[in-house]
Amino acid sequence: MSTVTATPRRAGHDSSNMATTTPQTTRVATSHIIQSSPHYQTTRRHSLYGTEDRVVIDPGSRIWKVGFSGEGKPRDVLTAGDNGSSLWTLNRASKPAEREEEDKMLEARLQSRLRAVFHDSLMTDPKSRKVILVEHPLMPLHIKDIVARILFDNLQVPSISFASSHLLALLAAGRITGLVLDCGHLESTVLPIFSSRPLFPQLRTTPLAGMRLSSHIRALLLLFGTYIPPLTSLSGAANIPAATRSMRVPDEVLAGPVIEEIKTRCCFVGETLDLADSGATRVTSPSGDDSFEHDLPPSSDPASMSESDFSRVSASEMDSNYAASSGFSVVSRSQVHPDGPRPGETHLQALAEMYKRHSTATDLHMHIDPPRDQQAGTGKGTLIIPGWIRERGAEVLFEGGDVDESSMAEVILDSLLKVPVDLRKTLASTILVVGGTPMLPGFIPRLQAELVRAINSSAPTSTRPPSRPGRPRPAPYDRYAPLRPLLPYFAILNNPSPPPPTSASFVTNAGKAPAFTPATMAWVGGSLAGALKTGGVEVARERWDEADAQPEDEDDAMEGTADTAPSSRNVLPDWTRTPLPVGAPPAPRPQAAPIIVTPQTEVGA
Amino acid sequence: MAPSVDYYCPCLAASPHPPPPHLPSSSDSFHPLHNLFFCEECDAVRCNRCVMVEVSGYYCPNCLFEVPSASVRAEKNRWDSAQVDITFEKPTGLAAQLQKFEDSAPEALEFDRLKEHFEPFLRASSSSSAVTPSSSHHHSNPITAAASSALARDIPGVSKYNPLSRSRSGRDKSSHKADIPDYKARMEVGAAAGMGAGGGEADLEFMRHLETVAEVATVEQRWVNSWVSSLHTDDLKPLRIPLQSKKSKRCPSCRHILIKPEQKAQSVRYKIKLVAANYLPAISVSLPHARAALEMMKRSLNRSATQSEDQSPTAAALLAGKTYSFHISFTNPLYDPIQVRLKKAQAMPAPGTEGAGEKAKRPPFQVNLPSAAFPIAAFAEAWEYEDDEDMFGLDDDDDLDGLGRLQKDQRSKTRTVGVVEKRANVTVVAGEVILTKESRGNVKFNMLVSYTYRSDDPDPAEENAMGTPSRHASSKPPEMKNFSFYTVVDLGTIAPREETIHDSDIWPTLDEAGIMATPEQPESRPQAGPLPSKRGEIGFVEGVDVSTQQEQVGEGSGTAETSSPLPERHPADTPVPTTTPQEPNPPTTPTPTTNAPPADSPSTANPPNTSAPLNPSGTTGRKLSSFLGCKRIPLFWGMRVTTLSLFAFQIAVLGATIGGWIVLI
């Protein structure tokens, strides 16, 4: 398998190297230009004493990137959530009182973060700095509202520009047309953008993202990881072999920051898990799908849930069962549970078996702090991370088949299916992957392979004999059939190891984006937009204050919900508030239908 | 754990009334006094969440060099001092030299190239965008406006859109290309990956054969790089150190400076400092029963420190279904006496409709606070106090206390609410909290503190120049002003009812201790831990200071605790009608309780020497009060005699030496 995949990759390497020979020369030229012409130097120096450089804030649910526009990299990157958790989630309490309380907590946290951004990270005066807020298209409106309120009221910034993160990322890649996948912490979102116009109605999203990856890795480690607690005393160190001390990973050891470190330092994405060994170039393999389903129970199966569901279930079960099994301190490598495997575990066991066969990564020993109640030992405990978890942990992101939780490839293809046909080829050839999760080594090449596989595997798998003789079997549901002709055009702009171009006549875009990291691309785009004196709809503070002051009187009249939030909302631009285009006239009402039927037939006749 | 008082700043809420303290979000609105500022113009408390922060100076944390703000901007808030693998032409201005490196960093060059790429396009489109019929809801976005101008030329093609003619899409793209040429990256990500960065094949191989975690740089070390960088820890480059800044803070509404540090990086002083501690009385709260329990625990366990530490929380805990007294001490920072009035904040009906309903089912405890206004004497420097003044304050205390005492006597000691103690610029009042049987969680309530003070009605300009203006007593005709603020009082966690079993385990030991306690009480007092004597600001008379040191360990060091002998004041001692049979400390009978206070209150002014006679006096508790009473005045004078005699002796020695010199000469 590895040889099969390695050969095209190597070729891809060469091609990319060859392709870069031209830019190499141009680079020399341009760098000369840049150094010889003091244009940018002077403009930058000029803005030193002024405050025209805007502050660019890319507020994620977990990680914030902040800096000044016109600079190539953010000044500071900070974790916004408290110890590994995210600052907000996509859930909100349903009761109004609880929700109000939740919002207050969020506002207080956001306020301290934003104040820290200006006062500690950037050390600048917020009153004299315009702000570019990099906004995710699905950022909850109430959060956007709170952020704006803090920036205007508490920090008193002169203006805020809201710019779509996907569009900005595309700008950083030097393009204004493309299909952008942002794989963040809470969710992954695909947004097609044509000619710098985001096609918001074609946006697709999936909850498979960084948070899901974390919980999956955690579940796998709880089941298959090994933990060696620190020695209780230094004297007995030589006597007890590590193997006898090893135990199941205690739940409390795997705190958020530990998982985060494992994810960012140990994990990577291996090549496609192709059991039929037919490689990425396989067009239609009759047995491919079936063998795939052998190992991975299809989620359409009513008796089973999706794999990730299992992992979550087992993780929670582990919590309750851990107390019972804690006496069981010496465990074998297979980590079989004493009281027999549970349904979720058998599935994970099967998964593990398969992953192990397809992984060559080394096991890692990681030193971590022992849990609080077992602190009596000496030094740090050791967590043994199996190599296959490192390599295959991210499989959860590429595993499709669930209608509600599309895989990375499926969410891209779904979005492509929705865009107008004449844009499909353009967009398919300019896919850009941004966000924190694609920072995993191997993520983007894998996504490329998965795109190809998803299109191919949706093809009719076999020509079984018709169920009833004499009647042709109905065509099987082929989801991505309309996209199959586009297959050679699929290209990810920032693919670090682009596949070789399939046809000589076709110029591929793969790997042609500037080498900005996926995680910072949106921020860099924001900085670029700021430097170009453009970027997003700008809301000035005067306008905010006006809108804030006016409806307060109305509120008194209405004597209803006294908070000013709904009033200020109208000031903030958001694509969800844009009026719907006047399209086709609405469909005739059902009751009117019988009357219309006759003239229609007449017309038809 | 320890009872605490935090002050309310209304900046987060729309209404001036504080949020109910049981909400977790309320903690963001309450702050310790030492974190608060006071704006004289607005006559309002300001907190760190609402003040406007300005940088008043940058400095290097390594060398304390003060960096001019112009070069700060040029050098991106950083100032380097570490250099590895980077050679410098000259030893000065390293940042400027490094700046060149940073300007030629790949991301900076690529960024400039991107800018060049988009600029002509934007310029061209901005001129034409005025003509183009921009779409209704995107018109305000310059980029989309620019793009729509490009798109406008394509619109005929789009309108002729026909699903059958697939080939059009290709032409569309090519026609589009004419408008915006494809961007050619300076360094493409594919090429960069070939050089071992950016998640390419090389990185995969490296990760696959990883031996230790340490080989991979942490994400925090990598995430500021916007350019693809190597995963290897070995490839990390030293970073320039971010500068530190000194900040001044302004009132958000009137923009007056609240605090401003001195410019010099080495200095830790402030030019202007309007902190709330100089304006609002400092409040601290303590639970006398907890302190008493702690004390007894310490004694009965014979200085097995660890054990007492383990158990003290349970002994000091609040038990559901009981009534506890608590002491709130107020320290006046002003140069004028103030009158303080307390009020438990009524649970304000929250804007949300559910608020009222929730409150209705949540009366886990009831708090009684002294309702009458009580005075606090003016702040005075330590040397301004004299014994006479102390006496005067003492009398005042007696007079005033009469009210509270009277109540107590007449109602057969059921009420412990009132002024407990008054000395120097500190007044201690007692309140009580009645816990219902079902109460859970923290005993936390909002308290409105309002005080009247004599306003100088000062000239604001002069005020600011003076630094802490209201401390200067002026001779102008006094005008009384009122100021009120909210606080939240947290008395601690209510121990769940199940722990009564555990509780009864503990109380017997206390009982045993209690039996011995009465005779041994005086002994316990000298044993008390040393009270931190750092009260320079509050300015205590030495005598008072030492007399407090005789007391048990108080909670906040800056707050003066009651100086009356504790056991009598123990809330458990006062037989409350609701008390359970387990109620501890029967030995102290009501009689000493009633007798004690009048005898005690003089002892507030006891000079330090009291401690010595107290030790022998520990034979009988019954005699204690009378013993104290008769010993008091001699002792009082004794102190003066010693100091005077010392002084006289020194004079005599001086005189004798002078005389000797004269004789010799």
What pLDDT digit, counting tens, does each position of B458-488 carry?
544 343 433 344 444 444 455 778 888 888 8
Domain membership flag for residue B171: no
CB A374 within 8 A of CB A212: no
- For chain B, give the mean pLDDT: 64
**B417 Rama class: left (phi>0) / alpha (psi -120 to 50) / beta:** beta
Rounded percentage of chain B residues whose pLDDT exceeds 90: 3
- Among chain B residues, the shortest Cα distance to A512 is held by B188
Mutation test of the interface with chain A: which of B136, B207, B254, choosing the one with the most A Cβ atoms within 10 A?
B207
Domain membership flag for residue B62: yes
pLDDT at B559: 35
Domain membership flag for residue B632: no
- Residues of A with Cβ-Cβ distance to B188 under 8 angstroms: 16, 19-20, 23, 511-515
Are the Cβ atoms of A176 and B74 closer than 8 angstroms? no
Q: Are residues B323 and B450 located together in one domain of the fold?
A: yes
DSSP class of B498: G
Mean of the pLDDT values across residues B509-521? 36
- In order, the DSSP letters of A115-168 are HHIIIIIS---GGG--EEEEE-TTS-HHHHHHHHHIIIIIS--SEEEEEEHHHH
Are the Cβ atoms of B208 and A535 closer than 8 angstroms? no
- Among chain B residues, the shortest Cα distance to A426 is held by B173
Mean of the pLDDT values across residues B117-140? 55
- In order, the DSSP letters of A490-553 are --BTT-SSPPPPSSTTSPP-TT-SB-B-GGGHHHHHHHHHHHTT--SEEEEHHHHHHHHHHHHH
Taking 50 as the pLDDT cut, the residues of chain A under it are 1-49, 276-341, 504-505, 552-568, 592-605
Task: Give the global pTM.
Answer: 0.69
Mean of the pLDDT values across residues B432-436? 83
- Among chain A residues, the shortest Cα distance to B229 is held by A517
Q: Are residues B251 and B294 located together in one domain of the fold?
A: no
Sign of CA dihedral B354, B359, B361, B362: positive
Mutation test of the interface with chain A: which of B138, B204, B228, choosing the one with the most A Cβ atoms within 10 A?
B204
CB B606 within 8 A of CB B637: no
Q: Is the Cβ of A32 closer than 8 Å to some Cβ of chain B?
A: no
DSSP class of B556: S
DSSP class of A68: E
CB A173 within 8 A of CB A514: yes
Alpha helix (H) ranges present in A370-442? 387-392, 395-398, 408-418, 421-428
Domain containing B250 equals 41-80+240-273
Q: Are residues B328 and B234 located together in one domain of the fold?
A: no
Are the Cβ atoms of A265 and B218 closer than 8 angstroms? yes
* Of the candidates A115, A106, A541, the residue with the CA atom closest to the CA atom of residue B47: A115
Q: Are residues B246 and B282 located together in one domain of the fold?
A: no
* Of the candidates B577, B627, B576, the residue with the CA atom closest to the CA atom of residue B599: B627
- Residues of A with Cβ-Cβ distance to B52 under 8 angstroms: 127, 156
Are the Cβ atoms of B14 and A561 closer than 8 angstroms? no
Domain count of the fold of chain B: 3
**What whole-number distance in Å separates Cα of residue A370 and Cα of residue A375?**
6
CB B276 within 8 A of CB B45: yes
Alpha helix (H) ranges present in B92-166? 94-103, 106-129, 142-159
Q: How far is CA B398 from CA A354, B332, B374, B419, in A?
A: 86, 19, 13, 10
Are the Cβ atoms of B141 and A537 closer than 8 angstroms? yes
Are the Cβ atoms of B185 and A529 closer than 8 angstroms? no
Domain membership flag for residue B63: yes
- Residues of A with Cβ-Cβ distance to B252 under 8 angstroms: 154, 156
Per-residue confidence band for B87, with pLDDT thresholds at 50, 70 and 90: low
- Among chain A residues, the shortest Cα distance to B195 is held by A17
Closest Cβ–Cβ partner in A421, A445, A496 for B163? A421
Q: Are residues B378 and B266 located together in one domain of the fold?
A: no
Are the Cβ atoms of B226 and A520 closer than 8 angstroms? yes
Q: Are residues B208 and B233 located together in one domain of the fold?
A: yes
Q: Is the Cβ of A390 closer than 8 Å to some Cβ of chain B?
A: yes
- In order, the DSSP letters of B147-206 are HHHHHHHHHHHHHT--TT-THHHHHHHHHHHHHSPPP--SSBHHHHHHTS-SSSHHHHHH
Domain membership flag for residue B428: yes
Contacts of B384 (CB under 8 A, 6+ apart): B539
CB A220 within 8 A of CB A434: no
Q: How far is CA A465 from CA A293, A458, B601, in A?
A: 21, 19, 106
- Among chain B residues, the shortest Cα distance to A422 is held by B169
pLDDT at B630: 40
Summarised one tens digit per residue, pLDDT across range B346-392 is 654 444 334 334 444 456 778 888 888 888 888 877 776 665 555 44
**What whole-number distance in Å separates Cα of residue B513 and Cα of residue B159?**
96
Q: How far apart are the first and last CA of chain B?
A: 71
Q: Is the Cβ of A20 closer than 8 Å to some Cβ of chain B?
A: yes
Beta bridge partners, A583, equal none
Are the Cβ atoms of A23 and B208 closer than 8 angstroms? no
3-state secondary structure B23-40: CHHHHHCEECHHHCEEEC
Q: Are residues B215 and B284 located together in one domain of the fold?
A: no
Q: Is the Cβ of A71 closer than 8 Å to some Cβ of chain B?
A: yes
Q: Are residues B422 and B486 located together in one domain of the fold?
A: yes
Are the Cβ atoms of B106 and A515 closer than 8 angstroms? yes
Summarised one tens digit per residue, pLDDT across range B204-261 is 888 888 888 888 888 888 888 888 888 888 777 777 778 888 899 999 888 899 999 9
CB A246 within 8 A of CB A330: yes
For residue A413, how many other CB atoms are within 10 A of its CB? Answer: 27
Backbone angles phi, psi at A65, to 5 degrees: -120, 130
Q: Are residues B425 and B289 located together in one domain of the fold?
A: yes
pLDDT at A55: 93
For residue B78, how many other CB atoms are within 10 A of its CB? Answer: 18
Backbone angles phi, psi at B248, to 5 degrees: -110, 155
The angle at the Cα of B647, spanning B643 to B648, to the nearest 5 degrees, equals 120
Beta bridge partners, B284, equal B329
Relative orientation angle of helices A343-357 and A288-295, to the nearest 10 degrees: 130
Mutation test of the interface with chain B: which of A1, A79, A517, choosing the one with the most B Cβ atoms within 10 A?
A517
Summarised one tens digit per residue, pLDDT across range A401-435 is 788 889 999 999 999 999 999 999 889 989 999 99
Rg of the Cα atoms in chain B: 36
Give the distance from CA A389 to its chain's centroid: 20
CB A185 within 8 A of CB A60: yes
ipTM of the assembly? 0.71
CB B190 within 8 A of CB A2: no
**What whole-number distance in Å separates Cα of residue A204 and Cα of residue A404?**
11
Domain membership flag for residue B71: yes
DSSP class of A404: S
Mutation test of the interface with chain A: which of B188, B201, B224, B239, choosing the one with the most A Cβ atoms within 10 A?
B188
Mutation test of the interface with chain B: which of A196, A364, A431, A571, choosing the one with the most B Cβ atoms within 10 A?
A196
Q: Is the Cβ of A364 closer than 8 Å to some Cβ of chain B?
A: yes
Q: Are residues B369 and B442 located together in one domain of the fold?
A: yes
Domain membership flag for residue B150: no
Domain membership flag for residue B588: no
Question: Residue B426's domain is classified under what CATH number?
Answer: 2.60.40.10
Question: Three-state DSSP class for B442?
Answer: strand
CB A412 within 8 A of CB A455: no
Residue B77 has pLDDT above 50, yes or no: yes
Q: Are residues B52 and B201 located together in one domain of the fold?
A: no
Q: Are residues B343 and B489 located together in one domain of the fold?
A: yes
